[in-house]
C-alpha cells in the first residue's frame, strides 16, 4: 500500500515535470504561429473579458492601494522639489547679485569714460562692511595699500561721489562717506564757476549743504552739484572735477554767503561696488594734489583762485 502510494506520487511528479519540459521544448522550438502559441492566444481571447471584468471590478481596490503608494511617492517628490526650489532660489539670488554688481560696474565704466578718470588709476573694490548705525557714514572696502589705496583717495561709484578713504590697511580700507562730518568737498553748481564746500547738513546726516557760495551765485532747484577739482584744505584729496555729488533741493538766502541744500545722488545705503581713484605716485593728479597740499591755508579755500587754477589744470585745461 505504501509502496503503491509512493510510486504513484513519484509517477505523478515525473509526469508533471516531463509534461512541463515537453511543453517548454515544444513552445520554445515552434514558430510564433505554432499550435501552442495559438492555444495561448485563444486562451487569452477567452480570458481577456474575464480579466477585463475583474480589472474593472477590482479597480477601486487597486485605486485605494495605489492612493497610498501615490501619496508616499508624492511626499518624496515634494521633498525633492522643495530641495530643488531651495537650490534654484539660491541660484537666482546669486544671479541677481551678479546682475546688480554688473550694473554697478557698468555705471562705473560709463562714469570713467565720461570723466576721464583713468589718469587717477581707479581701483575697483567691493564694500565688505557698513557701519551698523543709522548714519551709514563709513564703509569698509576690500582693497587697501596692497592695491595702491591711500588715505584721502576719492571714492566714487556709478552714480557719483561716494566719499574718501579715511584709513588704510594692507588689504582693506575704511571709507568716510560724503555724509560724514569729517568730509568736505570743493564743489560747484552746474556750469557755474563759483565754488563752495559740500558738507553734511547738521541734524540731517542724509542731506548735504553746499556752503560759502558767493552771494550773487545763481542756483536753481534741480541743478546738479559736481566736484570742482580743487581742494578745500591741505589735508583734503584732489577730487577729479565734474564728478556728480547731488542735486539742489533748496536755496538758503543768507547774509554774506549763499548756501544750497543738496541731496546726494549716490545711494549711500546700498553700496556694493565702488572705485578708489588711487592717483599713483608721479601721475599728474598726484602731483597736483601734492602742490595743492603745500599751498598756504589762506589760498586753498573753496573760492581760492589757486584751487580753481588747479582745477583747470587737473581737468586738462
Partner 1 sequence: MTTGISAPLLGRIAALAVVVVLFQIGVVSEVPVFGVVVDLSPLLVAFVGLLCGSMVGAVTGFAVGLLVDLALLQTLGVTSLTFTIVGYWSGRLRELRDPQAALTPLLVGAAGSAAAMIGYSLVEFLLGVDAPVSLELLRQIVLGVVVNTIVALPTWAIVRRSLVGGLPDDPRRRRRRAYTTGGLSPLSRS
Question: Applying CB under 8 A, which residues contact partner 1?
Answer: 5, 8-9, 12-13, 16-17, 19-28, 36, 39-40, 43-44, 47, 50-51, 54-55, 58, 61-62, 65-66, 69
CB-nearer residue toward partner 1: 13 or 94: 13
Rounded least distance, CB 46 to partner 1, Å: 10
In terms of Cβ atoms closer than 10 Å to its own Cβ (0-12, 13-18, 19+), residue 170 is exposed
Length of the chain: 317
* Partners of residue 262 on adjacent β-strands: 208, 248
CB-nearer residue toward partner 1: 65 or 82: 65
**Rounded-to-integer distance, Cα 125 and Cα 163, Å:** 13
CB-nearer residue toward partner 1: 68 or 305: 68
Angle in degrees, CA 204, 232, 110, rounded to 5 = 75
CB-nearer residue toward partner 1: 61 or 256: 61
Rounded least distance, CB 74 to partner 1, Å: 15
Interior/surface letters 108-146, b for 16+ CB within 10 angstroms, e for the rest: beebbeebebebbbbbbbebeebeeeeebbbbbbebbee
CB-nearer residue toward partner 1: 55 or 84: 55
Rounded least distance, CB 37 to partner 1, Å: 9
Rounded least distance, CB 4 to partner 1, Å: 11
CB-nearer residue toward partner 1: 42 or 190: 42
Rounded least distance, CB 69 to partner 1, Å: 6
**Rounded-to-integer distance, Cα 198 and Cα 209, Å:** 5
Q: What is the DSSP string of 177-214?
A: ETTSTT--EEEEETT---EEEEEEETTEEEEEEEEEEE
Three cell numbers written together for 137: 557714514
Say how many C-beta atoms besides its own lie within 10 A of residue 227's C-beta.
Answer: 25
* Partners of residue 174 on adjacent β-strands: 140, 167
CB-nearer residue toward partner 1: 27 or 109: 27
CB-nearer residue toward partner 1: 45 or 255: 45
Rounded least distance, CB 80 to partner 1, Å: 17
Handedness of CA 235, 241, 244, 250 (dihedral sign): positive
Q: Torsion over CA of 125, 127, 128 and 133, rounded to 10 degrees?
A: 150
Rounded least distance, CB 24 to partner 1, Å: 3
Rounded least distance, CB 30 to partner 1, Å: 10
Amino acid at each position: 500500500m505504501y509502496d503503491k502510494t509512493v510510486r504513484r506520487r513519484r509517477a505523478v511528479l515525473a509526469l508533471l515535470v516531463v509534461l512541463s519540459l515537453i511543453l517548454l521544448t515544444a513552445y520554445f522550438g515552434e514558430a510564433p504561429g505554432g499550435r501552442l502559441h495559438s492555444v495561448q492566444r485563444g486562451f487569452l481571447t477567452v480570458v481577456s473579458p474575464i480579466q477585463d471584468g475583474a480589472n474593472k471590478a477590482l479597480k477601486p481596490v487597486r485605486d485605494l492601494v495605489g492612493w497610498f503608494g501615490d501619496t508616499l511617492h508624492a511626499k518624496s517628490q515634494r521633498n525633492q522639489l522643495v530641495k530643488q526650489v531651495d537650490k534654484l532660489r539660491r541660484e537666482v539670488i546669486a544671479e541677481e547679485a551678479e546682475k546688480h554688481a554688473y550694473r554697478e560696474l557698468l555705471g562705473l565704466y560709463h562714469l570713467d569714460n565720461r570723466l576721464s578718470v583713468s589718469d587717477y588709476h581707479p581701483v575697483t573694490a567691493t564694500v565688505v562692511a557698513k557701519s551698523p548705525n543709522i548714519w551709514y557714514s563709513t564703509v569698509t572696502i576690500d582693497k587697501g595699500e596692497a592695491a595702491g589705496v591711500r588715505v584721502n583717495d576719492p571714492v566714487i561709484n556709478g552714480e557719483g561721489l561716494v566719499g574718501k578713504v579715511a584709513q588704510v590697511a594692507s588689504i582693506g580700507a575704511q571709507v568716510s562717506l560724503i555724509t560724514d562730518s569729517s568730509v568736505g568737498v570743493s564743489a560747484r553748481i552746474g556750469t557755474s564757476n563759483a565754488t563752495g564746500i559740500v558738507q553734511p547738513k547738521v541734524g540731517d546726516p542724509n542731506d548735504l549743504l553746499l556752503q560759502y557760495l558767493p552771494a550773487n551765485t545763481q542756483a536753481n532747484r534741480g541743478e546738479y552739484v559736481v566736484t570742482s577739482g580743487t581742494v578745500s584744505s591741505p589735508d583734503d584729496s584732489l577730487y577729479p572735477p565734474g564728478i556728480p555729488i547731488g542735486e539742489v533741493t533748496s536755496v538758503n538766502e543768507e547774509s554774506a554767503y549763499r548756501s544750497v541744500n543738496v541731496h546726494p545722488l549716490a545711494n549711500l545705503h546700498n553700496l556694493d561696488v565702488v572705485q578708489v581713484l588711487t592717483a599713483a605716485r608721479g601721475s599728474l593728479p598726484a602731483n597736483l594734489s601734492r602742490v595743492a597740499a603745500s599751498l598756504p591755508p589762506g589760498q586753498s579755500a573753496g573760492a581760492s583762485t589757486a584751487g580753481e587754477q588747479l582745477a583747470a589744470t587737473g581737468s586738462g585745461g
